[in-house]
Amino acid sequence: MKEEYEAWLQEKVPLHERLTPILVTTIQGMIKQADIDFLSVTGRTKSLKDVKEKIERKQYRNPQKQLTDISGVRVITFFESQVDEVAKIIDDAFSVDADNSLDKSTMLGTDRIGYRSVHYVCDLGKSRAKLIEYKPFSGLKFEIQIRTVLQHAWAELSHDRNYKFSSVLPPQIQRQLNLYAGMLELADKGFDELAKAIDGYQKQLDLESGESFYNQEINSLSVSEFLERGLSKFSFEISSTPSDKLTLVVSELKRYGVQNLKGLKKLFNKEFIDARNSLGGNKKTTYAGLLRDAMLFADYEKYFNRSWGESAWSWCDSDLITLLSKKYDKETVHNAFIENGIMVVE
């Protein structure tokens, strides 16, 4: 290796070691600012040994220009449309080397299915490089990969030597591989379409009002929207519930007999709201807890007979008994909880 390349590497690799974590933090911040969901943003810096090995293996004549991936950042999104959104952010934030950047999905032939992702080669750009914190890294090239979770899974499998997915395979095995890879690509597109459909439904819900809104069937999204619109009626803190737990309570509502928001509205009548507020402002709960409170307050026997069996929560605090005793005999309610194996915690 020529001496000038050796000296250049000795100077630049340590700079890249400092640059990589800055890039990760910067890119994470920009994606969050744009309100784009993502799985991860990770970075790596090639070691001096690995860089030298690549120069020899690739027989680079001009490493200063040909080495573009000493610093590398990988962004993994959930859906294909988010790849495009992140790509737009990268385009706007950095100076992109168009000649060395590529979209591998467009490079696959019509009969080819496989490793797909967007690769950018960038530098910080003139305006960012002028900032004092970025000045030492002016002119340094780095690579950014953007891919979905499923694209990442395929890339990891195809590059793992243990699986040999990227090898030249017998025709019958290659056909199977193409079939399953195609299914993965279809799933990637399908999940993206589903995510857009859910977003569209949520926007439609936001616009609904009056009778049209209350005629909506109950599901996790419509029930959440119903509760969000009614939060001001309650004098205590109500926090959202993770989707899996809310789905469980929506199933309880359906077994209870509530099929649409009109039926849910009947549970949230003035009597229930006043009784729940009377417990005091420090008696906070969750969406799931409030929905169960409403069902129990309307008819606790019906709840235990129809809804409770599959959920089988095993304890409650004494505030729930206090709430129900505003409508029912306290001892009778307490006994019903004991009979169903529910421990009442003071």
pLDDT value at residue 109: 46
Share of the chain above pLDDT 90, in %: 62
Task: Answer whether residue 157 shows pLDDT above 90.
Answer: no
pLDDT-based confidence at residue 244 (cuts at 50, 70, 90): confident
- Check whether 163 has a pLDDT greater than 90: no
Are 86 and 37 within 8 A, CB to CB?
no
- The alpha carbon dihedral of 108, 112, 115, 116 has a sign of positive
Label residue 222 by pLDDT band (50, 70, 90): very high
**Is pLDDT of 156 > 70?**
yes
Average the pLDDT over 88-108 and give the result: 81
Query: What average pLDDT does the structure give for the chain?
Result: 89
Options 1.20.120.550, 3.30.460.10, 3.30.365.10, 3.40.50.300; which CATH number does 3-187 get?
Answer: 3.30.460.10
Q: pLDDT value at position 113?
A: 46
What confidence score (pLDDT) does residue 178 get?
A: 80
pTM value?
A: 0.74
* Residue 310: per-residue pLDDT: 66
Supply the pLDDT for residue 108.
Answer: 47
Nearest to 251 by CA among 198, 292, 206: 292
Q: Please report, rounded to a whole number, the percentage of residues in the chain having pLDDT higher than 70.
A: 91
pLDDT at 314: 84
DSSP per position, 205-263: HHH--HHHHHTSBP-HHHHHHHHHHHGGG-SS-EE---HHHHHHHHHHHHHHT--BHHH
Average pLDDT (328-341) is 92
Q: How far is CA 93 from CA 68, 196, 316, in A?
A: 18, 26, 52
Sequence-ordered alpha helix ranges (H) in 34-125: 48-58, 63-66, 80-93, 104-107
What pLDDT score was predicted for residue 344?
87
Highest mean pLDDT among 8-12, 38-42, 103-107: 38-42
Domain boundaries, the chain: 3-187, 215-345
With 90 as the cut, is the pLDDT of residue 220 above it?
A: yes
Confidence check: pLDDT of 287 > 60: yes
Residue 176 has pLDDT above 90, yes or no: no
Which of 65, 43, 74, 70 minimizes the C-alpha distance to 54?
70
Note every long-range contact of 196-199, with CB atoms under 8 Å and residues 24 or more positions apart, other chains counting.
196/81
Q: What is the pLDDT of residue 45?
A: 97
Look at residue 281 in the predicted model and tell me its pLDDT. Answer: 66
The Cα 44–Cα 25 span in angstroms is 13
pLDDT, position 153:
86
β-bridge mates for residue 340, sequence order: none
pLDDT confidence bin for 112, thresholds 50/70/90: very low
Q: What is the pLDDT of residues 143-154, one digit of tens each?
A: 999 999 998 888
Among 54-58, 91-95, 192-196, 215-219, the range scoring the smallest mean pLDDT is 54-58
